[in-house]
Every structure is written in structure tokens, then in C-alpha cells.
Amino acid sequence: MSTRLLVAAAVAGAARQPDTPAGLPPVDIVVGVIGRAHGVRGEVAVELRTDEPERRFAPGRVLGEEGGSRIFTVRSVRDHSGRLLVKFAEVVDRAAAEAARGTLLIATVQPDERPAEPGTFYDRQLIGLTATTPDGAEVGVVGSVLHLPAQDVLEIETATGARLVPFVAALVPEVDLDEGRLTVVDVAGLLDDRDPVDED
């Protein structure tokens, strides 16, 4: 999931909740991996693959298994020394917990679901958006989202090759999911190989 501060107009756009597009199927996303067993009653550590553990691992939530048919119903969840410990209803003892180790857990979500926090987007929502300049000229398509230590970066596929654009409000002032586009400031050297103008 990608997070950054947006200008007011973009926040307003992100806060809108459009109707689910007709005919689009739900989406399966990986939210965690079952790790080591904890104790003898079936509790397991979960290595997170989501920025919203309180949402994906809420008690009563039913998760699936990637590539399989098993289900895992969250009974309880707690933090233990920085690790997320989860008790699934179907994992009744330590033997079952050990057998489930390594399972990729998936959550089924609606295609138009958006993070609760304004100005935050799932990678899948950004990939495929058309990138335009402030004057409306199309420059490319978002091909991937890179999560680097300093910040998230959009990889935009242009006619001259891939360009990396830091996902910050100063360079990407607007994201409009309803219109399927985002705006990228036309800074020299960002979307092309122009040299910045020396103003001295």
C-alpha cells in the first residue's frame, strides 16, 4: 500500500466512494504468511503482507489459502514482543499450527475498496493509471510501485522508456481513481532527459 500527503483536491477525490463497477469480480490479495506455532493451543505468528492488520485480521474475518481451498477464520489476535499472534478457529492445536506453517493467507476484497485513511492507495489501484501533465498531456502508464526506504516511487512506462517518479504531492499533486489517471508535474529530467534550466 502506498501512502503520502496529498493536496486538498486529491484528498477529496480519494475520499469519494464510487459504486462498485458492474461485472468486476472481487480481488484476492495476500495479507500474511503463517509462521511458527506459539504454545500448544494452535496460536501462530503471522508475517504481515498488509499495512492494515487491524482490518484484515479482525476477529471473525475469514481468510483463504493462496493456491488451496482451506479457510482460516480469525478467532483472536494479539501483539507479542512485536509479533502478531493469531488464533484461527480451524487451527486447533500445535500440530495443526505446524502443518499450516508457510501458508500464504489471502483476503477477498471488492475491486473498488479503498484504504480507510485519505491519501492512501493500494498498489493495485495505482498500477495501470494514465499519467498526465497538469495541462492534460498523456505521458505514460503506471507500471509498478516501488517501496523504497525513503519513499514510494512510481515506475511510469513512457514512449522513451520507464521513468521513476517519487510518489510525493510536490510531483504527483492529484490522483483520480474514478477517472483512471494521475497528474505528474512536468519537471525537467523527470519524465524526459531534459536538463534543468540554470536560472543563475
Residue 200 counted as domain residue: no
For residue 48, give the nearest of 61, 28, 63, 33 by alpha carbon.
33
Whichever domain contains 155, its CATH number is 2.30.30.240
Residues 31 and 89 in one domain: yes
Residue 90 counted as domain residue: yes
Residues 36 and 9 in one domain: no
**In which band, very low, low, confident or very high, does the pLDDT at 95 lie, cut at 50, 70 and 90?**
very high
Residue 188 counted as domain residue: no
For 76-104, what is the mean pLDDT? 97
Residues 81 and 54 in one domain: yes
Taking 50 as the threshold, does the pLDDT of residue 5 lie above it?
Answer: no
Question: What pLDDT digit, counting tens, does each position of 11-44 carry?
Answer: 223 333 334 455 678 889 999 999 999 999 999 9
Give the number of residues written for the chain. 200
Whichever domain contains 105, its CATH number is 2.40.30.60
The pLDDT value recorded for residue 195 is 66
Collapsing DSSP states into helix, strand and coil, what is residue 26?
A: coil
The pLDDT value recorded for residue 11 is 28
For 121-145, what is the mean pLDDT? 94
68 CB-side CA count, 13 A: 14
> What are the beta bridge partners of residue 132?
138, 183
Residue 153 counted as domain residue: yes
The pLDDT value recorded for residue 197 is 59
Q: How far apart are CA 18 and CA 21, in angstroms?
A: 8
- Please, is 199 exposed, middle or buried when counting C-beta atoms within 10 Å of its C-beta (0-12, 13-18, 19+)? exposed
The pLDDT value recorded for residue 108 is 94
Q: How far apart are CA 71 and CA 44, in angstroms?
A: 15
The pLDDT value recorded for residue 55 is 92
pLDDT top residue among 200 and 42: 42
Domain total for the chain? 2
- In our burial notation (b when 16+ CB lie closer than 10 A, e otherwise), range 88-98 reads beebeebeebe
pLDDT top residue among 180 and 21: 180
Residue 57 counted as domain residue: yes
Q: Which domain holds residue 6?
A: 2-22+116-183
Residues 135 and 151 in one domain: yes
Q: How far apart are CA 36 and CA 100, in angstroms?
A: 9
* pLDDT, the chain, mean: 86
Residue 158 counted as domain residue: yes
Collapsing DSSP states into helix, strand and coil, what is residue 176?
A: strand
The pLDDT value recorded for residue 20 is 43
Q: What is the pTM of this model?
A: 0.65
Question: What pLDDT digit, counting tens, does each position of 37-80 carry?
Answer: 999 999 999 999 988 899 999 999 999 999 999 999 999 999 99
Residue 179 counted as domain residue: yes
CA–CA distances in Å: residue 16 to residues 9, 12, 115, 117: 11, 7, 11, 12
Grid cell in block for residue 84: 502478531
> What are the beta bridge partners of residue 41?
none
Instruction: Check the CA dihedral 19-22-26-29 and report its sign.
Output: negative
For 106-130, what is the mean pLDDT? 88
For 143-162, what is the mean pLDDT? 92
- In our burial notation (b when 16+ CB lie closer than 10 A, e otherwise), range 47-66 reads eebbebbeebbeeeeebbee
Q: Which of 55, 89, 109 is the last residue of a domain?
A: 109
